[in-house]
Amino acid sequence: MVRTRHTERPRLFVSTRSVRAVIWLLLGSIFLFDIWTHPENVSACFAYAIPIFVSLFELQPRPFLYAATATALSIAGSFALPSSELPLTAVLANRFIAIATQWVVAVLVKVQYRRQVDMQQQAEYQRRFVAILSHEIGTALTTITGQAYRLAKLSERISPSDLKARADKIRGAAERIEGIVGRVQFASSLGDGTIPVERQRIDVTVLLTKLLEQLKEDQRGGPIELHASSEPQVVEGDEMLLRQLFENVVLNSVKYSGSFNAPISIDIATHAGMVRVAIADRGGGIAPDELPRVREPYYRGKNSKGTSGAGLGLYFVERIVEAHSGRLLIETDFGKGTRVIIDLPQSRDA
């Protein structure tokens, strides 16, 4: 199992509480300096940009809060002492230029923070990817080399049935590698955030029926119960993508409920102008602290021990659902099972 952790920013030498104390101390000191000087001197207003910039060293910067505080203090400082040279309107005009600078700095701090978070997130995805790929491919290669060694050693006295069984294991391991490589390639193709969709009218019930028949023929599915009305449930979408979507969810449910010997339930119905497909299992469910993260690429939960995969299943599913203007919901009861709900817009001609 690959252990995962939340993406965190690097630890600083000072705590966030200390940084915030410094920021508020700077804001207070600048305000005191401002009210002791004539309002024509706007250098104090520009100085408020310093504590806003310092907020970049917080674990979760709050530059807009500090900018709002600096704005209020800058305006208050305008009335602390009467102006001896400029009218109040001119003083305020000069100060508003400084206030604009404060907000520009706040925006820059926020943008820089988001950039750092994105970079750390990408680094975390890459770490997961390398760990999962190394484990999955390494396991498959161990199977291939082990079976090939036994075939060579027993080549003169191996029975046809044993030969077929070992060949099937080699083929299965090779298919696992091929599947993982294919998923990674597909994930890379989603880099620009778009998926080309070739739309056509598709009866979801027919599509799922064919998929389940194929999984049964390939011996990849467990006991699955399909419940649907006799009326066609038609959507407009890409048949290949939708098939991949449902295959991912169904096989995921089978994978994590296999040890519970409970059937997978698939219900198809119309709901608020959408074709709703609910796929429920009675497996171990998803831990509450992991539920927000299961849609992330290359994320595998604690219950994935002993199962193969690249942690891309639900990531693919959500992207395909979004490309069809649909909605993905995940309901789980830890220890009792998970229900994945996929809503796709019903065809207007249905």
Tell me: the pLDDT tens digits for 302-340?
A: 555 545 444 456 777 888 888 899 999 988 888 778 899
Count the neighbouring beta carbons within 10 Å of the beta carbon of residue 230. 5
Q: Say if CB 304 and CB 290 are below 8 A apart.
A: no
pLDDT(293) > 90:
no
Structure tokens, 120: 């750390």
Give residue-wise pLDDT tens across range 201-236: 999 999 999 888 877 766 566 678 899 888 889 999
Distance, in Å, from the CA atom of 36 to the CA atom of 309, rounded to the nearest integer, reads: 66
CA–CA dist 34, 77 (Å, integer): 6
* pLDDT value of position 312: 55
- Cα 194 to Cα 341: distance, rounded to the nearest angstrom: 22
- Which pLDDT value is given to residue 154? 72
Most confident of the following: 5-14, 174-183, 191-200, 207-216: 207-216
SS3 content of the chain, % helix, strand, coil (to 5): 55, 15, 30
- Whole-number pLDDT of residue 12: 45
What pLDDT does residue 345 have? 92
pLDDT recorded at residue 4:
37
- 306: which 2 tokens? 């002993």
Spatial separation of the C-alpha atoms in residues 293 and 332, rounded to whole Å:
13
* pTM summary value: 0.51
Q: What gap in Å lies between CA 277 and CA 340, rounded to an integer?
A: 8
Minimum mean pLDDT range among 3-17, 127-141, 185-199: 3-17
- Tokens standing for residue 49: 């940009």
Beta carbons of 337 and 264 less than 8 angstroms apart: no
Query: Domain 200-345 carries which CATH code?
Result: 3.30.565.10
Contact 204, 267 (CB under 8 A): no
Please determine, for residue 8, whether its predicted confidence score (pLDDT) is greater than 60. no
- What is the average pLDDT across 124-129? 63
Read off the tokens for 190: 């989603």
Calculate mean pLDDT across residues 285-307. 63
Q: What is the pLDDT of residue 11?
A: 45
Q: What mean pLDDT comes out for the span 231-260?
A: 82
Beta strands in 222-336 (DSSP E): 224-228, 234-237, 264-271, 274-280, 327-333
Q: What are the pLDDT digits (tens) for 334-344?
A: 877 889 999 99
Between 175 and 3, name the one with better pLDDT. 175
pLDDT in tens, 132-185: 566 556 666 777 787 777 777 776 777 878 777 777 777 777 776 776 666 666
Helix pair angle (239-257, 204-217), 10° resolution: 50
In the structure, what pLDDT confidence band is assigned to residue 131 with cuts at 50, 70 and 90? Answer: low
Q: Mapping DSSP to helix (H, G, I), strand (E, B) and coil, where does residue 198 land?
A: coil
Answer for the pair 32, 81: CB distance below 8 angstroms, yes or no: no
User: How far apart, in whole angstroms, are the C-alpha atoms of residue 279 and residue 250?
Assistant: 7
**What gap in Å lies between CA 93 and CA 40, rounded to an integer?**
10
Q: Tokens representing 23?
A: 């920021």
Query: Which segment, 105-109, 179-183, 293-297, is predicted with the most confidence on average?
Result: 105-109
Rounded distance, CA 27 to CA 250, Å?
57
More confident residue, 196 or 224: 224
